[in-house]
Amino acid sequence: MKNLDDLLSEGVRGRRVLVRADLNVPLDGDRITDDGRVRASLPTIEKLTGAGARVVVTAHLGRPKGAPDPEFSLAPVARRLGELLGAEVALAADVVGDSAKATVAGLGDGSVALLENVRFDPRETSKDDEERAALAEDLVDLVGADAAFVSDGFGVVHRKQASVFDIAKRLPGYAGGLVLSEVEVLRTLTGDPKRPYAVVLGGSKVSDKLGVIQALLPKVDKLLIGGGMAYTFLAAQGYGVGGSLLQEDQIESTKKLLEEHGDKLVLPVDVVVADRFAADADKRVVDADAIPDGWMGLDIGPRSVELFAGILAGAGTVFWNGPAGVFEFEAFADGTRGVAQSIVDSNSFSVVGGGDSAAAVRSLGLPEDGFSHISTGGGASLEFLEGKDLPGVAVLEGDA
């Protein structure tokens, strides 16, 4: 697939370039609490502006219901992007309307405009091919038929959406540096990774990751389970889990996995339980098979951290997706911190699979350069490892 360097070699000075970025950042009011995705978008944008392109960025934020909603405005993102670029980023008040047209028309060489949240237009996420195509055509009209398209939002390439998939059928498409590096890293994991190959999966629900667990188990040497989904595995072993998160409809599936791959699956041996879901809850450490009634597991315990760390220390390759506990509460962050630090301390080729894991690295103050790669797309990473086609990648490779 053609990439950003190919586009730059063609020359972009004075040319409009539509960049699909992933700027879906967490907000507290209008304050960005983690700007990792904004910073990750900078290299591609700066290369284009440095070459004199007129850059039009399109992105989404949250899940608005196909209509403008001030809660999901990209205004805070435009401000932060401008701060990081050291230049004003003009924000259009709409997606492809009069404001967008005026904003794009006012761009000079080397300048940047951001369109308002593309999901304010219901056609972006429509299941109807013609509706999505209509929005893609409006985007082409906005930037001009001689414009180029750069796909740099890896967090959305697993979605068949107008600004990700359909637009790449209408403008010359190129992979941005972020998408290119993500695909290269994930192909390393699915190719011939250095062994032992260990995967750490956390998060709340087994159902969200059952597909990737089933796909990975034949390929990995060890698969470590933490987070809320560990309690469904513990229940499948016949243990009581008190008030912990439990997906009863997944017990049979997890029991089958344990029967077929018990030598590879590694579960917590102790957990930190709480009497309620709160940052100041009473807590205690108990064996994984001794969770008291009425108490809920909110983190893996110290012996589990030690067990996981021993495996990770000898790994040649590590993929981590999903926190080991409720790291947002300091009282229940030690498991996630311990697992992450173990990966940093190892000599492995290590990949953090985006989402909450990437947020945990930053919020817990861990060195980002302690990992070989931190992905910006948790869902896209998992679908890639599961073996699914990513529409936003396939269309750039001419396979869609």
> Which residues are catalytically annotated?
37, 205, 355, 379
Whether residue 387 is annotated as binding a ligand: the answer is: no
Tokens 């960049």, residue located:
19
Name beta bridge partners: 114.
57, 91
Whether residue 23 is annotated as binding a ligand: the answer is: yes
Label the pairing between strands 31-32 and 27-28: antiparallel
Q: How far apart are CA 203 and CA 143, in angstroms?
A: 40
Q: How far apart are CA 396 and CA 398, in angstroms?
A: 5
Whether residue 328 is annotated as binding a ligand: the answer is: yes
DSSP 256-293: HHHHHHTTTEE--SEEEEESSSSTT--EEEEETT-PPT
Whether residue 357 is annotated as binding a ligand: the answer is: yes
Whether residue 347 is annotated as binding a ligand: the answer is: no
Whether residue 13 is annotated as binding a ligand: the answer is: no
Whether residue 37 is annotated as binding a ligand: the answer is: yes
Whether residue 31 is annotated as binding a ligand: the answer is: no
- Does residue 194 contact residue 349 with C-beta atoms inside 8 Å? yes
Whether residue 181 is annotated as binding a ligand: the answer is: no
Whether residue 373 is annotated as binding a ligand: the answer is: no
Name the E strands within the chain. Answer: 16-20, 27-28, 31-32, 54-58, 89-91, 112-114, 148-151, 173-175, 197-201, 222-225, 265-266, 270-274, 283-287, 296-300, 317-321, 349-352, 373-374
Q: How far is CA 389 from CA 1, 154, 259, 295, 400, in A?
A: 15, 13, 29, 41, 10
Whether residue 60 is annotated as binding a ligand: the answer is: yes
Q: How far apart are CA 328 and CA 344, in angstroms?
A: 20
Whether residue 209 is annotated as binding a ligand: the answer is: yes
Whether residue 201 is annotated as binding a ligand: the answer is: no
Annotated binding residues for substrate, written as ranges, equal 22-24, 37, 60-63, 119, 159
Annotated binding residues for ATP, written as ranges, equal 209, 297, 328, 354-357
Annotated binding residues, written as ranges, equal 22-24, 37, 60-63, 119, 159, 209, 297, 328, 354-357
